Amino acid sequence: MNAELVVRAAQAWLGTPYRHQASALGAGCDCLGLLRGVWRTLYGDEPVLVPPYRMDRRGQERDPALRLAAERFLIAVEGPAQAGQAVLFRLGGTAEPRHCGILIAPGRFIHAQEHLGVIEANLTSGWAKRVSGRYRFPAQS
């Protein structure tokens, strides 16, 4: 998938308010909703229905659902970070990722953050040490 298309699709979501389990451009989304919305822009329909999930993910420190979905629908990458890659983060010392965003440059990403909505942020050392995987979107068929 062309990185520029992914970045433009993610940038369209900037300013969208934070809404748990939502994925509506301009109306509200969470971090997964952002990735879902970018997917719809790039490919049309989403590949699966996303089941309900808890906002705080309490008790789900070992829940691999986000990682498994990334591995199923995206393509894992190694090497230098690049624009257009989806990035997964571990939060709060969890073993499995609980947050995601999209790189728009090697040191910048877009994500949905509670109380702030969809924002562009620096991939600071604090964020970088929590990265648990990077993925590229598959080629369009």
**How many Cα atoms sit within 13 Å of 75 on the Cβ side?**
7
**How many Cα atoms sit within 13 Å of 67 on the Cβ side?**
15
**Mean per-residue pLDDT for 29-44?**
96
Query: Rounded distance, CA 62 to CA 42, Å?
Result: 30
What fold does the segment set 3-136 form as a domain? endopeptidase fold (from Nostoc punctiforme) (3.90.1720)
Contact 38, 116 (CB under 8 A): no
**Mean per-residue pLDDT for 32-43?**
97
pLDDT, greater one: 99 or 49:
99
- pLDDT surpasses 80 at 19: yes
List Cβ neighbours of 127 (8 Å cut-off, separation of 6 or more).
89, 109, 121
Domain boundaries in the chain? 3-136
Q: What is the pLDDT of residue 49?
A: 82
- pLDDT surpasses 80 at 17: yes
Q: Which residue type, as a one-letter code, is found at position 28? A: G
Q: Which of 40, 1, 45, 23 is nearest to 118 (CA)?
A: 23
